[in-house]
Each structure stands twice: as structure tokens, then as C-alpha cells.
Structure 1
Amino acid sequence: MIGRLRGVLAEVELDHCLIDCMGVGYVVACGARTLGRMPAPGDEVTLHIESSWSAENGPRLYGFLTRDDRGAFTTLTGIQGVGPKAALSVLDVLPPGDLAAAVAREDKAAVARANGVGPKLALRIVTELKGKPLGAGGLTVGTGSGPVAATPAAPSLTGEAVAALLGLGVVEVNARRAVDQALIRLGEGAELSAIIRAALQELGR
């Protein structure tokens, strides 16, 4: 079983990338947030891998830039009705820390923002994630009126910036990629207005 890949980023497509590891090319499915944070093609990248097999698609590799993302993906796909595609969509909208906070405050609407996740599935995710670890760092969702999370999650500027672009009619996957690129250019401390302007510049390239 493959747990990690380190190699040259050969290609980046809409929902996957190709990693060249000493002449062997691995096709790795990734979420939009992960793809948007990839280095430039030709640079080295390390991905944490979760392997999956289904009768419909056969073997498939899912890649993440952090162990926490991979751990949250594994936890999500352990919930009935949450397949790999839905799990990636949830993590595109809510990184592990934000997801833990959303579940702790029972914010079903935040989870339902993910593509392919309706209100019923969002409720199931919120219910079943209570008290479960999210990610390799041991981030655990609180139960009832207990602690919100092992580590407090800051409000997501990424989500706010993406929502602003969606309001302008930008397709979600393009909006997320543009915002991620803007954050790479400006840094995590950038203000929301600056992120939105930079993202619009990315879309105009």
C-alpha cells in the first residue's frame, strides 16, 4: 500500500495530478484546495496518499499535502454515504480545523456547502464526527457542550473569499484555485479585500 509519494509534479488537471517518481508516473486524485496549493509543474512535491479500491473505478490514489488532510479524509470516508468525492468536497470547503469547529457547533449548513453534500448527508456527517479525531495531529471534535476542539479554529478567509467570487458568478473550482494562488502570493496574513483582488487578477491571467 502506498502511503506517501515524493517526486516531480508533471501535470495538474482539474481533479488530479501526475507525479513522476523516478520515471514512474502516478495519477493522484486531489481536491481543488490541494491542487491550488501545488508547486509549479517541474518542481518536487510530496503527497500523503490514501489508497482506495472500488468495483467501478478499480484502484485509485488520493493525495494530500498534509497528514491532517489525509486523516480527515479517512475519517470522513468511514461515514456511511460519504464517498471519496464527497469527502474531498467537504475538505475543499472546510479544512480539518474548520471542519472540527463546524461539527462542534453543529453547523450543518457549513458542511452542506460542499458540492454533492445535501442537508441529510451534512447532518449525518455532523452527528457521526462528534468525538472522532480529525487528522494526524489528534484534533478531536467536542461532544455536547464540551470543548469545541483541541485547537481553536480561526475564521476561514479562504471560505469568505471564495463565497465572494461565487457571488460574482465564478465557477467554484476556479474560485478556489484563484483564492489559493492569491494566498500563496500574499501570505496567510493578508486581508480579505486584498485576497479577493489578487484572486480576480489570477482569474484574469
Structure 2
Amino acid sequence: MLEGVEGKVLEKRETEVVVQVGGFYLRLNCTPGTLNRLVKGETALLLTRMAYSQDRPPELYGFAEREELDLFDTLLKMSKIGPKSAMKILSATTPSRLRSLIATRNIDELSRLPGVGKKTAERIVVELASVLNIAEGEEEMRSLPTTQRSTGEDAIIALASLGFDEQQARRTVAGLLKKNPSIDTQELIKTALKEIRG
């Protein structure tokens, strides 16, 4: 299987790039994120996937980042999402944003992505959160400033040491930090305990 190509960028189009590899000229479908990284006339390394169809020639898909390729592969595991649909989704957002939407169960925003209605958005959340190993609250914690993230991680460790489920602790702490960014560690732990215990 063709895992990648390295060659000179000859031409950039709206959704494609033409790369010269030795005596071959390859056309690859790419997202805007990948295309923006490529410079005409320079050498580029692209990770690739090839898609086959009964009624058309094989098509190559190129990715500048492993994360984007992994998400492409993951989307293809879902029924009713083919290579072109997966590329439309990846072209409309960034890999980190897509992971965040899945982690936060943001059905509303997911359903506005090209070719994704409410039912598909719900399926993406249910099927891909576990496949991508995304814990609820993980992406929110990553997006916080360093100081808040440090406070949150300390609170999560404390809650986990008390026997609480780490994913539940992470989800609760992330929500509390979002509501009150200036909360200190001790107060965060106390408030999280109250919320978890109901």
C-alpha cells in the first residue's frame, strides 16, 4: 500500500495538488490545511491513502499531518461516510477542532459540517469518541491557559486519589473552570466534590 509520496510541488489547485515523483506526476486530493503548507516548486512529503471505486479510477488523498490522516481513516470506519465525505468534513474544520467537537458532544456544530446532518453528527459522537480515545473534558482542559490547566490537573489528581472516576472528574473540573477561571485548587476540589456527589 502507498503510505506516502515525496516530490516537487508542480501545481496547486482549489482542492488538489500535483506532485512530481521521479518520472511520475501524481494528483492528490488535499484539505485547505494541507494545501496551505505546500509551496509550488518546493519538495513536499505527503502521507497518502488511495481510494478505489467501481465506476471511476483510483484516487489519491494527501495529508501533511499524521493527525489529519488518522482522522480521515477513522471517519471512513463509519458507514455512509466515504473518502469524499470525509475530506469535506476535514476541509471545513481543523483536526483539533473536530476532536474538540466530538469530545464536547457538540451535535449542533457537527451537524453544520458539509454532508453531516443531526443523525450523522450523533453517530459520529457515539462511534468516534471511543475510537479516538477522547475523554470528556480532555479538549476543554487543553484549551485552557497554562495556570488554569495546572490547577485543573491538580484537582483531577486529587479527586482520582479519592476514588472518583477520572473521566467524570475531568469533565466536572473542566466545566467548573470554564464557569470560574479564577477559582483556586482547594475551592475547585470542594466544588467538584459537591457536584459529583450531587
TM-score category of the 2 structures, normalised to the smaller one: 0.5 to 0.7
- Distance (Å, rounded) in 1 between the aligned partners of 2:34 and 2:55: 24
Asked whether the equivalents of residues 93 and 113 of structure 1 are also in contact (C-alpha less than 8 Å), the reply is: no
Q: 1:123 matched to which residue of 2?
A: 122
Q: 1:2 matched to which residue of 2?
A: 2
Q: Which letter does structure 1 place at the counterpart of 2:34?
A: T
Asked whether the equivalents of residues 100 and 139 of structure 2 are also in contact (C-alpha less than 8 Å), the reply is: yes
Give me the TM-score of the superposition, normalised by structure 1: 0.64
Q: Which has the higher helix share?
A: 2
* 2:149 aligned with 1:148: no
User: Any stretches of 5+ residues in structure 1 without a counterpart?
Assistant: 134-139, 155-205
Q: Which letter does structure 1 place at the counterpart of 2:15?
A: D
- Distance (Å, rounded) in 1 between the aligned partners of 2:6 and 2:105: 37
Structure 1 residue 87 displacement after superposition: 1.1
SS at match of 1:131: helix
Q: Which letter does structure 2 place at the counterpart of 1:128?
A: E
CA spacing shift, 1:98–1:151, aligned 2, 3 Å? farther
Stretch deviating more after TM superposition (83-92 or 111-120): 111-120
Structure 1 residue 26 displacement after superposition: 0.8
Q: 1:101 matched to which residue of 2?
A: 100
Q: Which letter does structure 2 place at the counterpart of 1:148?
A: E
SS at match of 1:94: coil
- Distance (Å, rounded) in 2 between the aligned partners of 1:61 and 1:82: 17
CA spacing shift, 1:44–1:153, aligned 2, 3 Å? farther
Structure 1 residue 100 displacement after superposition: 1.7
Q: 2:51 matched to which residue of 1?
A: 52
What pairs up with 1:151-170 in 2 under 5 angstroms? 152-153=142-143
Q: Which letter does structure 2 place at the counterpart of 1:38?
A: L
SS at match of 1:80: coil
SS at match of 1:91: helix
CA spacing shift, 1:100–1:34, aligned 2, 3 Å? same
Higher relative contact order (CA 8 A, sep 6+): 1
- Distance (Å, rounded) in 2 between the aligned partners of 1:66 and 1:126: 23
Structure 1 residue 64 displacement after superposition: 0.4
Over the matched positions of the two proteins, sequence identity in percent amounts to 27
Q: 1:71 matched to which residue of 2?
A: 70
Deviations 1:136-190 (A, max 9, x none): xxxx312xxx443598257xxxxxxxxxxxxxxxxxxxxxxxxxxxxxxxxxxxx
Deviations 1:37-95 (A, max 9, x none): 322x1111110101111113231111000111101100011111111122112222332
Give me the TM-score of the superposition, normalised by structure 2: 0.66
Q: Which letter does structure 2 place at the counterpart of 1:59?
A: P
Q: Which protein has the larger Cα radius of gyration, Structure 1 or Structure 2?
A: 2
Q: Which letter does structure 1 place at the counterpart of 2:20?
A: D
After superposition, the CA RMSD in angstroms is 2.0
Q: 2:84 matched to which residue of 1?
A: 85
Q: 2:147 matched to which residue of 1?
A: none
